[in-house]
Structure 1
């Protein structure tokens, strides 16, 4: 199985999404603690190396952290600059965002960045323009959620891609009455292990190597990336209380047990390493 990390500052990104600021200082201490928790987990699994999809602003404000992750042998890949929702942006702005983030990440890591994942898996799929920008700058993309190899093949053809490898995250129904779930993120830690087991089995049956994605805040139980009531106050009392409570699903519920739950899957499936080194194994169309 593959493990990848969407390495972002959720507190910073939430403030942008909620209109509280355009940008500001990152919680760099929290990012360091998040990486250290992930690295401790990986060391317990024999020192595995994985892929970190990093936002460009981390390379801008904490280049030493990106350099340290790279020095530990992990792959640095791109996760946009400000965790932008790409399908809400014009094509020219997406081009600027990708170029800025890639340049900053490569400078901090001191190596080429060849992989990309769109924040929230949101990238325009109604036409090929945004995907062609990704193809121009990167060797592979992991922004697609798919439930079958045929779906991946049809999408690749529809986008007219020639060189860009697609490394999708498996998505399928796993809980009766709920929409299809991705294999990873908050779904992985919030639901019982049997839900992830169904998704893993479904991925294998569909011809995918299981690929779990997680975030640094999910490896911490300290609330390092939570927005406090005072930070949410400009939203008004009702929205302030709503978002204060809503954050528990990301920062509290299931976080303490995540390493043990993830470790059980790793002990059975193993870890496949960095995506850049294993494109054929991670690309369902390569079989």
Structure 2
């Protein structure tokens, strides 16, 4: 049943970054990209479990999908779209925008859009940068996103973090370029700081009740829809352990994997969820 603290008239956006465990930025120093094709992909079985959770709860979502994954699992991408979910882009090769030149970045996101559209036959309007890697140091990236033909981006996280973040960015959707909306990851304003409320590693680290309260505050206090994100590998407690990972990255990646699927099931019952292009009317106006 719905969380009684969450207004029943507000639907939030549920999003999934479709990538496999060996493609995570934090593990990049330990897994060479040349090995990717030799590693068993686990993404499809995990995506199917998330699709099951969404179907059981009657919710819809947006799947920000890597072009690399889509090329190897096109039937999975078609299943996502056939279930009524939105297919959006996570780029081609899971390279941070900050690690590419403008020309490289534009090529990466253009290729991903074409691959996904060729598979589904539907326009891909949304893009999310790996590791939320668009900020003050590379504003040109948003120009590239608009040039590639996307209608919205969800690439900015208005928090302070050691790997990403733009804490002074607006907390809610805003026009970043002509015809391009930015939909930031959800935060809760407490004093002079934004607290992360949009999922990811924080959802695994914090008690479920804390995450539910944070999301409820956005709905109840701000009277705005929230946007939540997760990854398929976050419900995969049996994924292979990568050797030699530094303690900080190991903690961040593996903490509470065994609890995440149950928490997501509760989250889908406690709130109403929809696709990005359904929840945020700003996206439709940017088209």
> If the length of structure 1 is used for normalisation, what is the TM-score?
0.78
Q: Secondary structure at the match of 1:144?
A: coil
Higher helix fraction: Structure 1 or Structure 2?
A: 1
Instruction: Please show how residues 197-212 of structure 1 align to structure 2 within 5 Å.
Output: 197-204=212-219, 205-212=221-228
Q: Over residues 17-42 of structure 1, what are the superposed CA-to-partner deviations in whole Å (9 max), with x where a residue is unaligned?
A: 21642343175651111111101211
Distance 1:11 1:155, change over 3 A: same
Matched, 1:250 2:253: yes
Shift of 1:241: 5.5
Distance 1:61 1:206, change over 3 A: same
2:232 aligns with one of 181, 195, 216:
216
| Structure 1 match to 2:33 | 22
| Structure 2 match to 1:146 | 158
Distance 1:210 1:13, change over 3 A: closer
Q: Secondary structure at the match of 1:4?
A: strand
8 Å CA contact 2:237–2:258 kept in 1: the answer is yes
Structure 1, 178-187 or 35-44: larger mean CA deviation = 178-187
| Structure 2 match to 1:167 | 183
| Structure 1 match to 2:108 | 97
8 Å CA contact 1:145–1:182 kept in 2: the answer is no
Q: Secondary structure at the match of 1:276?
A: helix
Distance 1:187 1:154, change over 3 A: closer
CA distance, structure 2, for counterparts of residue 211 and residue 261 of structure 1: 16
2:133 aligns with one of 110, 113, 122:
122
| Structure 1 match to 2:263 | 261
Shift of 1:281: 7.4
CA distance, structure 2, for counterparts of residue 110 and residue 280 of structure 1: 23
Distance 1:83 1:194, change over 3 A: same
8 Å CA contact 1:86–1:123 kept in 2: the answer is yes
Alignment gaps of 5+ in structure 2: 1-11, 160-167
- Equivalenced residues, count: 263
CA distance, structure 1, for counterparts of residue 125 and residue 138 of structure 2: 23
Distance 1:168 1:26, change over 3 A: farther
Structure 1, 76-85 or 191-200: larger mean CA deviation = 191-200
8 Å CA contact 2:27–2:249 kept in 1: the answer is no
RMSD, matched Cα:
3.3
CA distance, structure 1, for counterparts of residue 283 and residue 207 of structure 2: 25
8 Å CA contact 1:63–1:108 kept in 2: the answer is yes
Distance 1:20 1:210, change over 3 A: closer
| Structure 2 match to 1:237 | none
| Structure 1 match to 2:208 | 193
Alignment gaps of 5+ in structure 1: 230-239
CA distance, structure 2, for counterparts of residue 31 and residue 262 of structure 1: 17
